[in-house]
Structure 1
Amino acid sequence: MCTLRVSLLAAIAAASFAFGFAAGDGTENNPYQISTPEHLEAVNDDLSANYVLTGNIDLSARTYDRAVIAPDTDYTDRDSEFYHARPIFTGSPFTGSFDGAGYKIVNLTVDASNAIGDYPCHIGFIGKIEGGLVRNVGIENTVITFEDVYYKAEYLGGLAGFNSGTISNCYSAANVSGDAEFLGSLCGSNSGTIEKCNATGSVLGGRAAEYVAGLCGRNEGGTISNCYATGSVTGDFDLGGLCGSNSGTIINCYATGSVSGSSSLGGLCGQNYYGTISSCFWNTETSGMNTSDGGTGLTIAQMKAPNTFLDAGWDFAGESANGIEDIWVMPEDGYPRLAWSTSDNSGGINPADLNNDGIVDILDFAIFSENWLLPE
């Protein structure tokens, strides 16, 4: 198979005049419809517009050296005021809305190792989300990586390198690795909102890697709620099954992945810097960790007991005492899962949830009935 290695800067320029979208005008009520890799790259022409996927996007024929959407466009920029030079984001963040509509991005590779410039940052499917909304999209069979003998990258994540917007009802099975700070299978660093998301990819920090975690490397003043991570985590400092470092709020989350490193390690969170962690858990047996800076350690049996989470106030389908959103479901002999996910335990998004409310019920059937056999 022939693989096209894409310079994203060239791709952005080409997309600006060579490709439109399948349909739509970019408004909230009529978002641009994305059905090809070229459409994805053309999102960079208007990072404040509204977009929706109309199918899965396979990127196996391409290899990127920076984020597909809202990338750092200049890896030579740095801030030398720190005790060591730090990368600076050059480019424009994503401020619009991106609705995956239950579809996924597959076979994405972002390898910044050989890119021009010594200070890469904001590496992932989306480089930087600032006030934007990303929802209902999955990331599968994806690799995000950076390796270098002398320099370190920052903000590596399967879905987003950095988020100060909202990520909702998403999942990532991306494997993330690198000589870097702020690494997570879903997001490198968060100062916005991450809700109802899960991450299953492994996260491997390289030389002197800090802030490494299964879901999000760092939560700096943001909120992470109703999320979980199951992937293994390896690095040096500030490592956690869910979050490496927290100075925000984490609520109703859990982690089960193994954690290994040098110091400041936690089954759920490595370091909690004056943040709030409530009603959260980690598996002491599968993580290999008896400690965490926040959360409660449980055995496998306790993690599979519904009352563990019901007593902590988690909102499950079939009960109303903890809320009526029906955020979680409890599979037989399994861990809690998000209600929007499919029944095959892949972490995917349920295409039968036609109104995207996180559950499949009579309301979805009504939508299906209204559109049955309508002419295209």
Structure 2
Amino acid sequence: MLGVGTQSNPYIIQTPQDLHNVRNNLTAYYELGNDIDMSGWGNFTPIGTSSEKFMGNFNGKGYKIKNLTINSTTAYVGLFSFTENATIQNLAIENANVVGQNVNYVGILAGNITNSTIKNCYTTGNVSGQYGIGGLVGWHYSGLIENCFSHANTTGRGRVGGLVGNGATSNSLVNKCYSTGLVTVTPDPNLYNGGLVGSHVDSTKVTNSYFDINTSGQTISAGGTGKTTAEMKQQTTYVGWDFTNTWGINNDYPYLQIFGVPTAPPKKETITIQSYVNHIHSKTSKINKSTKQTQSFLNTIQTLSERHTSTKRTISSYTLPNATSVQKQNRTVRSVTQHVTSYMNPIDSIVERKTKTIQQLLSYINHIKSNVIAVAPIQNKIVNASVYVIENTSTVQFEDNLSNTYAIENPSVVEVI
């Protein structure tokens, strides 16, 4: 992953694999670079153990880890198994499913925190285990949880709370937090359960914090104040909270500004609509479409066609001069006149004739327009009407173009020595 793990240059987590690799350095600085979808990862192993605790700094930067699944048979279950002297802030975990099979100390964010700070974080989803089960943190041994909330449903056998399962010491501080998730304790529903905190050694260490008595199914808590759903959606309920820089509220539960304004879930509503209209009357008429052929008559139109033929034939042929030389020599010198015959192969010439013929003769005339103006007789005077016809003769040109053929005869030259 990017970065070197220092405060000035932290590791940047961008993929599920990057998140898994946090366990390789439990004391470094980390930041989320984007939302992380864990739906394709499968069962995630918690980061750290009770013997090798996470002691680093993890800053979510307002991003979210979504669809986290953890199913463990070892105690201290959560994204972080066990933290000590750690800081986790600005982190959201949505739609998580965290299960501790017959084990204790289970929370979506952390199974146990010791001397650690959790700020500006929230969780949604489901979490279950035996004892010490919380929607955010299972076992809060010491440290500060501030400006956090949980909408997660929690289930366990005892010490089960909507936000924190158990506040183990007087140094387990909770401030300005709330929870709304359903809290279920089985088989004994009265064994340390609470809407916000399941159990706490000193409930006064939980300050300015609230839980929804309607959605949690709980009217008690080891710290925090129970409010109705309607009251939980009113800003006046939250005494001392910073709704300028940290929190926001918009006719719903408070939200952390660093994550933006939450999108309201779609509401399903059935609406029955009855519509009444008068009877619709329609009139049908028969429409016939008739096509008639119209002919117009004019006087005879006379056209003049001419044919022009141009024929040009010129034949020319050129060949280079041909020269032959015949020599006859004898050792005996005689004065004899002999006739020597010279033979040459026939000179072939190619005469090519090209003819271009245009056979189709077309005659075009423009449309003839005629105007007839008739004036009704007035005072028995005779009015004559005239009809004018304009004739436009066509011209047709025909040309034959023949190739040229040339012929030159060059006699042979015979020399006798």
Structure-2 change in CA distance of 1:232 and 1:36 (3 Å) = same
Structure 1 position 144, deviation (Å): 0.9
Structure-2 change in CA distance of 1:316 and 1:174 (3 Å) = same
Whether the aligned pair in 2 keeps the contact of 1:203 and 1:231 (CA below 8 Å) is: yes
In structure 1, C-alpha distance between the alignment counterparts of 2:92 and 2:45, rounded to whole Å? 19
In structure 1, C-alpha distance between the alignment counterparts of 2:234 and 2:40, rounded to whole Å? 44
After superposition, the CA RMSD in angstroms is 2.6
Which letter maps to 1:33?
Answer: I
Whether the aligned pair in 2 keeps the contact of 1:199 and 1:214 (CA below 8 Å) is: yes
- Offset from partner CA, 1:106-159 (integer Å, 9 cap, x none): 22211125xxxxxx1111111111111111221122211133xxxx31211111
Secondary structure at the residue paired with 1:43?
Answer: helix
Counterparts of residues 60-79 of structure 1 (less than 5 Å): 60-64=39-43, 66-67=45-46, 69-70=47-48, 72=49
1:212 maps to 2:145: no
Correspondence for 2:388:
none
Whether the aligned pair in 2 keeps the contact of 1:106 and 1:142 (CA below 8 Å) is: yes
Q: Structure 1, unaligned stretches of length 5 or more?
A: 1-20, 73-88, 114-119, 238-259, 318-325, 348-376
1:136 maps to 2:90: yes
1:176 maps to 2:94: no
Structure-2 change in CA distance of 1:146 and 1:198 (3 Å) = same
In structure 2, C-alpha distance between the alignment counterparts of 1:224 and 1:285, rounded to whole Å? 22
Q: Structure 2, unaligned stretches of length 5 or more?
A: 266-417
Structure 1 position 93, deviation (Å): 0.9
Which letter maps to 2:250?
Answer: P
In structure 2, C-alpha distance between the alignment counterparts of 1:328 and 1:272, rounded to whole Å? 26
In structure 2, C-alpha distance between the alignment counterparts of 1:269 and 1:50, rounded to whole Å? 30
Secondary structure at the residue paired with 1:66?
Answer: coil
In structure 1, C-alpha distance between the alignment counterparts of 2:86 and 2:109, rounded to whole Å? 13
- Offset from partner CA, 1:10-59 (integer Å, 9 cap, x none): xxxxxxxxxxx1x2111100011222222222222211111112122222
Correspondence for 1:31:
10
Which letter maps to 2:72?
Answer: A
Whether the aligned pair in 1 keeps the contact of 2:61 and 2:91 (CA below 8 Å) is: yes
Work out which of the residue numbers 90, 104, 111 in structure 2 matches 1:154.
Answer: 104
1:308 maps to 2:256: no
In structure 2, C-alpha distance between the alignment counterparts of 1:315 and 1:33, rounded to whole Å? 29
- Offset from partner CA, 1:71-105 (integer Å, 9 cap, x none): x3xxxxxxxxxxxxxxxx34x11111111222222
Correspondence for 1:222:
172
Correspondence for 2:151:
200
Whether the aligned pair in 2 keeps the contact of 1:174 and 1:186 (CA below 8 Å) is: no
In structure 2, C-alpha distance between the alignment counterparts of 1:293 and 1:163, rounded to whole Å? 18
1:343 maps to 2:264: no
Which stretch of structure 1 is more off in the superposition, 299-308 or 44-53? 299-308
Secondary structure at the residue paired with 2:241?
Answer: coil
Counterparts of residues 1-376 of structure 1 (less than 5 Å): 21=1, 23-64=2-43, 66-67=45-46, 69-70=47-48, 72=49, 89-90=50-51, 92-113=52-73, 120-147=74-101, 152-164=102-114, 165-178=116-129, 180-190=130-140, 191-205=142-156, 209-220=157-168, 221-236=171-186, 261-276=189-204, 277-309=206-238, 312-317=239-244, 326-332=245-251, 334-344=252-262
Structure 1 position 307, deviation (Å): 3.2
Which letter maps to 2:81?
Answer: G
In structure 2, C-alpha distance between the alignment counterparts of 1:337 and 1:38, rounded to whole Å? 29
Structure in which a larger fraction of residues adopt strand: 1
TM-score (norm 2): 0.57
In structure 1, C-alpha distance between the alignment counterparts of 2:21 and 2:223, rounded to whole Å? 42
Number of equivalences = 260
In structure 2, C-alpha distance between the alignment counterparts of 1:331 and 1:108, rounded to whole Å? 28
In structure 2, C-alpha distance between the alignment counterparts of 1:337 and 1:141, rounded to whole Å? 16
Structure 1 position 274, deviation (Å): 3.0
Identity between Structure 1 and Structure 2 (%): 37
Structure in which a larger fraction of residues adopt helix: 1
Which letter maps to 1:105?
Answer: I
Structure 1 position 342, deviation (Å): 2.3
Which letter maps to 2:176?
Answer: N
In structure 2, C-alpha distance between the alignment counterparts of 1:95 and 1:111, rounded to whole Å? 23
- Offset from partner CA, 1:188-233 (integer Å, 9 cap, x none): 112222121121111122xxx1211111111223211122211111
In structure 1, C-alpha distance between the alignment counterparts of 2:148 and 2:225, rounded to whole Å? 20
Whether the aligned pair in 1 keeps the contact of 2:127 and 2:155 (CA below 8 Å) is: yes
